[in-house]
Amino acid sequence: MPSVCFYFQVHQPFRLRHYTVFDKSVSYFDEFKNASICRKVANKCYLPTNRLLLKMIRRYEGRFKVSFSVTGVVLEQFQKYCPEVMSTFDALAETGCTEFIAETYYHSLSFLYSRNEFYEQVGQHMDLVKRLWGQTPRIFRNTELIYNNQLAETIESMNQFDAIITEGADRILGHRNSNFVYRPPNCKNLKLLLKNYSLSDDIAFRFSNRGWEEWPLDAPKFSRWIDSVNGCGHTVNLFMDYETFGEHQWEDTGIFDFMFHLPEYILRHPDNNFMTPSQVIRSYPVMDVVDVPHVISWADTERDLSAWLGNAMQSNALHEAYKMEKLVKQTAKSDIIEDWKKLLTSDHFYYMCTKYFSDGDVHKYFNPYDSPYDSYINYMNVLSNLRQRCKDALAEPTEVEQQAS
C-alpha cells in the first residue's frame, strides 16, 4: 500500500564576491560565479532532470507525481542566467502532477531570529509560486527542514497550510517509523510529513558509493525495499536535494536511468502508487503525535543547527545580520532591503562552519571559500558596508524636507 512521495529541494544562494574592508562598492554578489554555477548545475541537473520527470509523467499518464520547493533566490537566478530552466518548470507545473511547496523566499533562518521577517519571506515565496505556476502552496517546509513544536504552532496560526515537512530523525520518532502521517502536539489541523532518511539517503548519498554493500542500486532492488514497507507504513517520503540528480550523483553513475525505471517497478505492485504531499495527508489518517521540543534539521549526522550555529563566528554573524533589520527597513530603500535579505540566506552561515573543517569533508565541496574564517571576514565586511549605507540613507534629507528648505 505505500505511496511514494518525492519532494525535491531546489536552491542556489547568491554567493558574495571577495569583499575586503577597503571595498566601498555596493555590489556585494559575485555575478560571474553565480551565473557560471547556475548554468553549470542547470546543464548537469536542472534541465536534464526536469525533462526526465516530464517524460515520466507523460509516460505513466499521471500516475507518477513529484513535488518541489524552489527558493526565491534560485528562481531569480534562473530568470537572470538560464531562463530555459524556468520554462521546464512551467511545463512541469502544467502537467498537474507537480505540487509546489512553500518556504522562506531567501532560504533563511529567519524563523529562529525574526518572526516578522519570517512571515514576510514566506509571503513573498507564496506570491512568487502563485504568480509563476498558479498554485497556492498548502504545504510548508522550513529552511534545511529546521523544525520544532514552536514552528508548527506558528505555521498553524497562519491558517494557510495543511502540513509541514521535516526530518524523520530517530530521536523524535523513538520506536515509530517515518512512514505515517503524524501531528504536532499543540496543533488541531496541521499535519507532519517526515523524511524517510534511510531510503532517501540511499539515493541521495549512497547511490554511487562502491564501498556500500548494496551497490549497485537499481530500480528493481529499490522497489523491493518500497514493497517491504507494505503493512508497516502508508507513505515513503523521499525528500532530497534536487542536485542529487546529475550534480551530486553524476550522470555516469546511472542515476537518471535508475529514476526513469523506478515507477515501472514500483507500480508493478498494485498497492503502490505515487503521491504529492497534499494527496498523502488527504489519503491517510494521523497515526500519532510527534513531540519536538528541541530544534531538528536534516543536516549532517547531528541533524541539528550546528552546521549554521556551531561556533562563535556563526552566531555573531547571524545576530549582527538580524540586528540590522529595523535599520534596514527604516530606510525604505528597495535595493538596501533586497541586499540585506539576500545576506540572510543560510548558506552564508554554513560556509563559516568549522565542524569537520580539518577533515576536508562534504562541507568543503559546497564551499566557495578556502576557509570558514575567510567566509566570516568577507560576510562581516559586507555587512559593515550595508550598515553604513543604511546610516547614510537615513541621514539624507527626505524629499519633503528638501522641498521645505
Partner 1 sequence: MKVFMLGWEFPPFISGGLGTACHGLTKALSNLGVHITFVLPKSVDTGNATHVHMLTPQSCRPLPAAGTSSVEISEELKNIQFHTVSSPLQPYMTPQQYQKKLEEIIKQKKLLSGQSQQMLDQWLEREFETVTAAAGQYSGDMYAESHRYAAAAVHLALLQDFDVIHAHDWMTYPAGIAVAAVTGKPLVVHVHSTEFDRSGEHVNQMIYDIERRGVHAANKVIAVSYLTRNILLTRYGILGDKVEVIYNGVEAEDSSRISAHQVGIRSDEKIVLFLGRITMQKGPEYFLMAARKVLEEIENVKFVMAGSGDMMHRIIEMAAQMGIGHKVLFTGFLRGEDVNKVYQMADLYVMPSVSEPFGIAPLEALNHDVPVLISKQSGVAEVLTHVLKVDFWDIQEMANKIIAVLKYPPLQMTLREHGNFEVRKLKWSGAAQKCLRLYQDMAAQVAT
381 binds partner 1 per the rule CB under 8 A = yes
Minimal distance, residue 396 CB to partner 1, in Å: 24
Would the CA dihedral through 174, 179, 180, 181 be positive or negative?
Answer: positive
Residue 370 vs 399, nearer CB to partner 1: 370
For residue 380, state whether it binds partner 1 (rule: CB under 8 A): yes
Q: Which is nearer to partner 1, 147 or 349 (CB)?
A: 349
- Looking up cell 533566490 gives 73
Nine cell digits for residue 179: 512512514
Instruction: Indicate which single residue of 25, 301, 334, 358 sits in contact with partner 1 (rule: CB under 8 A).
Output: 358
Closest to partner 1 by CB, 128 or 318: 318
Contact between 170 and partner 1 per CB under 8 A: no
Cα angle for residues 362, 367, 372 (degrees, 5° grid): 100
Beta carbon nearer to partner 1, 23 or 264: 23
Residue 235 forms beta bridges with which residues?
Answer: 3
Q: Nearest approach, Cβ of 379 to partner 1 (angstroms)?
A: 10
Distance CA 14, CA 106 (A): 10
Stretch that binds partner 1, among 44-52, 84-92, 244-252, 314-322 (CB under 8 A): 314-322
The only residue of 20, 159, 301, 334 in contact with partner 1, by rule CB under 8 A:
20
Among 43, 95, 124, 315, binds partner 1 (CB under 8 A): 315
Q: Using CA atoms, how far apart are residues 286 and 276, in angstroms rounded to an integer?
A: 16
325 flagged as catalytic: no
Q: Residue 400, interface with partner 1 (CB under 8 A)? A: no
Q: Which of 92, 87, 110 is nearest to 8 (CA)?
A: 92
- Give Cα 225 distance to the centre of its chain: 26
Rg of the chain over CA atoms, in angstroms?
Answer: 22
Of the candidates 316, 330, 388, 398, which one interacts with partner 1 according to CB under 8 A? 316
How far apart are alpha carbons 338 and 373 in whole angstroms? 25
Intra-chain end-to-end CA distance of the chain, in Å? 75
Whole-angstrom Cα distance, residue 193 to residue 103? 15
Which residues are known catalytic residues? Answer: 144
| Residues engaged in binding partner 1 (CB under 8 A) | 20-22, 311-313, 315-317, 354, 357-358, 370-371, 373-374, 376-377, 380-381
